Chain A
């Protein structure tokens, strides 16, 4: 298995531009998570999906952020317009059916976003 795949690995953009981050979860996993990691705030959960449906988006910072999961093998996180404070490493993770007790999450390599 290739694991969770994220693209691009690095993104440098100017303030005001639209940024789209992409994620392919592990095949068969029905949960997908988007996280943001910064030195100041640590690792924050932005949104997660179950069977392609958004379950909890309470961590999405503001309306400039949106996430979609059109099918079981693909998700996007979009920032429009981007701002310098969005600079961070964005991780996608997936896990299989949680049931009672939950299961471990498998993380992608991350996308390092720099907004100038």
Chain B
């Protein structure tokens, strides 16, 4: 079964609004990563947060990690049409190199 499950499965917002996606996982992790996938393309790494970190920022992205609840959230602020894509969380266990991907959130940002 999937280690990570994203919520919601689909999200539609207006340009300029914030988008929040959540990820829940089942086992202890080494780190958690978020990836973006545009339609018909490969995945692109966005941000990595380690198990001993609680929050991380990168540009318009903010990721939080709550290991006690086994959950993470990705916030995209001031969304743009170009942010339209699927977003996946991926958890790394053990040595940290093997990733298990979640089911993804499809984000649509409308003009």
* Interface segment, one of A71-79, A80-88, A105-113: A105-113
Residues from 50 to 107 in B contacting A, C-beta threshold 8 Å: 50, 88, 92, 95-104
Q: What per-residue 1/0 map shows which CB atoms of B33-62 lie under 8 Å from chain A?
A: 101000001111100101000000000000
Interface residue? B31 (CB, 8 A): yes
Secondary structure class of chain B's binding surface, majority of residues:
strand
Interface residue? A48 (CB, 8 A): yes
Residue contact A102 to B42, C-beta cutoff 8 Å: no
Residue contact A98 to B96, C-beta cutoff 8 Å: yes
Interface residue? B20 (CB, 8 A): no
Given contacts A101-B50, A104-B48, contact A31 B97 (CB under 8 A): yes
Complex alpha-carbon distance, A91 and B42, angstroms = 7
Complex alpha-carbon distance, A100 and B52, angstroms = 12
Residue contact B95 to A98, C-beta cutoff 8 Å: yes
Residue contact B103 to A100, C-beta cutoff 8 Å: no
Residue contact B97 to A98, C-beta cutoff 8 Å: yes
Given contacts A42-B103, A109-B41, A109-B42, contact A104 B98 (CB under 8 A): no
Q: By CB atoms of chain B within 10 A, which of A33, A91, A102, A104 has the most? A: A102
Residue contact A56 to B98, C-beta cutoff 8 Å: yes
Closest chain A CB from B45 CB (angstroms): 4
Chain B hits for A45, CB < 8 A: 98-101
Closest chain B CB from A93 CB (angstroms): 8
Report B's interface with A, CB cutoff 8 A. 2, 30-31, 33, 35, 41-45, 48, 50, 88, 92, 95-104
The contact sample of 11 A-B pairs, CB cut-off 8 A, is A33-B99, A42-B101, A43-B88, A50-B97, A95-B97, A100-B96, A101-B31, A102-B31, A102-B48, A107-B42, A109-B41
Beyond the given A98-B96, A107-B43, please list 17 additional residue pairs across the A-B interface where CB-CB is below 8 A. Answer: A42-B2, A42-B102, A43-B43, A43-B101, A45-B101, A48-B98, A50-B97, A93-B43, A95-B97, A98-B95, A100-B30, A100-B96, A101-B50, A102-B92, A102-B96, A105-B43, A109-B41
